[in-house]
Amino acid sequence: MGFGVSIACAVGALVAGAGVVAMAFPGRPEPWPVHLLRRAAATAAWGAAAVYSLGLFAVLMSEQAFGDGADSIPAPACRDGFDEATREGLSHHRSSYLPLRFDCVREDGSVYSSDPDYGWMNGASASLALAAALFAIGAGYATELRARKAALTS
């Protein structure tokens, strides 16, 4: 299900991105800067949702695998793919959904991440969400500016 949500968001980003590219062709809607900014905002928002949902469901799957049957404690995400020296003294894990992370904690208090991909997922989703907000604000500003210019000429 998690991968399906991420795919749906990615398809939404591609459709919105096609709308941005369509602004380069003749017959584009007027005022085209406002439409371009709105479509870019939608593209960035869908992209942020796709990246975040991919990470969210990775954390959910790691959390679900913990305590689910034999050989599930400590969390498989903290054991699989790590050498014995890294796993030594593993006591528990901490997970977070904002920012995305699944940290493995040793008895001495030291921590290591179960997956280094959470770093780029957090950065990419935050950057895309910020870009979406800035594009939406820009579209609102362009609309307001156009309305003020129209009021001055009337």
Q: What is the pLDDT of residues 87-126, one digit of tens each?
A: 788 888 888 989 999 888 888 888 888 888 889 999 999 9
Q: How confident is the model at residue 26 (pLDDT cuts 50, 70, 90)?
A: confident
Of the spans 12-21, 61-70, 101-110, 132-141, which averages the highest pLDDT? 132-141
Helix (H) or strand (E) holding 27: none
Mean pLDDT, range 31-46, rounded to an integer: 86
Burial of 77 (0-12, 13-18, 19+ CB in 10 A): buried
Q: Is the pLDDT of residue 5 over 80?
A: no
Q: How confident is the model at residue 149 (pLDDT cuts 50, 70, 90)?
A: confident
Where on the phi/psi map is residue 109: left (φ > 0), alpha (ψ -120 to 50), or beta?
Answer: left
Rounded distance, CA 71 to CA 121, Å? 29
In the prediction, which pLDDT does 1 show? 61
In the prediction, which pLDDT does 89 show? 82
In the structure encoding, which two tokens stand for residue 35, read together? Answer: 């439409």
- Strands (DSSP E) found in 57-148: 90-97, 100-106, 111-113
Q: Is the pLDDT of residue 64 over 90?
A: no
Mean pLDDT, range 131-139, rounded to an integer: 95
pTM score: 0.77
Q: How confident is the model at residue 138 (pLDDT cuts 50, 70, 90)?
A: very high
All structural domains of the chain with their residue ranges: 2-72+118-153
